[in-house]
Amino acid sequence: MPKTKISSELVTKSYLTSTLKIELDIFESKIEEKITKFTDSILTAMDPLLKELEQRQEDRELASYQNEKVNIQLGDHEKRIKVLEQTV
């Protein structure tokens, strides 16, 4: 807390209150600034991870779709093979 010269030795309640309020406001703004910087750095670090997760989810959905198509085609081929075996 900066020291200021007061004409009397006694610190009044209003002076103390106003000085503390000023100091607390300064402290609060410093804390908010540090929290904002910290949050920004965390979110910036998480961006590539979230992009990777999103890409993996899309890949799993695509693989599931392709697997379903292959299973349908396989079932169709099995039916056609049975028909061919019965004719021979």
88 residues of the chain, pLDDT tens digit each: 555 555 555 678 888 889 999 999 999 999 999 999 999 999 999 999 999 999 999 999 999 999 999 999 988 888 888 888 888 7
What's this model's pTM, rounded to 2 decimal places? 0.51
* Residues 50, 58 contacting (CB under 8 angstroms): no
Q: Taking the CB of residue 42, how many other CB atoms lie within 10 A of it?
A: 9
Cβ-based neighbours of 23, under 8 Å, separated by 6 or more: 1
Distances (CA, A) of 59 to 14, 64, 80: 66, 9, 31
Cβ-based neighbours of 15, under 8 Å, separated by 6 or more: 6
